[in-house]
Amino acid sequence: MDKIRINNLKFYTKNGVLKEERVLGQQLELDVELELSLAAAGKSDDVNDTINYAAVNDLIAQRVATSSFNLMEGLLAAIFDDLAKQYSTQLHAATLRVRKYSVPMPGLFDNIEVEMQRRFDQ
């Protein structure tokens, strides 16, 4: 299966379980991997025969800007719902990864990452 990847989208959000996270906010990084057939786009060289990754970026940015979740899992589930609504006929599967850096817990670490996968062609 062919893939389109968008790596390290950066967003400032006010998501989190703790009140401080929702008041102060934090930066999230998000990776998107879309699985679909790119054969038609490869032959036609026409953006209408693929999933426009600029439109995917806008869809995700809109979701992040207008929603607030306790869990990163909730944010990713909402993005999957948005992708399914917009691209259900083209998209076979998707993988989303989100990294959170300012996690209020003890210990030394770079970030917390959540990865979720969904199939859309079942």
Per residue in 10-41, pLDDT tens?
A: 998 877 777 777 777 788 999 999 999 999 99
At residue 82's C-alpha, the angle toward residues 110 and 18, to 5°, is 40
> Residue 23 has which token pair?
């008041």
Query: Over the stretch 2-18, which tens digit does the pLDDT of each residue have?
Result: 999 999 999 988 777 77
Question: How far is residue 13's CA from residue 63's CA, in Å, rounded to a whole number?
Answer: 11
Cα separation, 8 vs 19, in Å, equals 26
| Confidence grade of residue 122 (pLDDT, cut at 50, 70, 90) | low
pTM score, whole prediction = 0.91
32: which strand partners? 6, 96
User: What's the number of domains the chain is made of?
Assistant: 1
What CATH number should be reported for the domain holding residue 27? 3.30.1130.10
Is residue 54's pLDDT more than 80?
yes
* Domain span holding position 104: 2-119
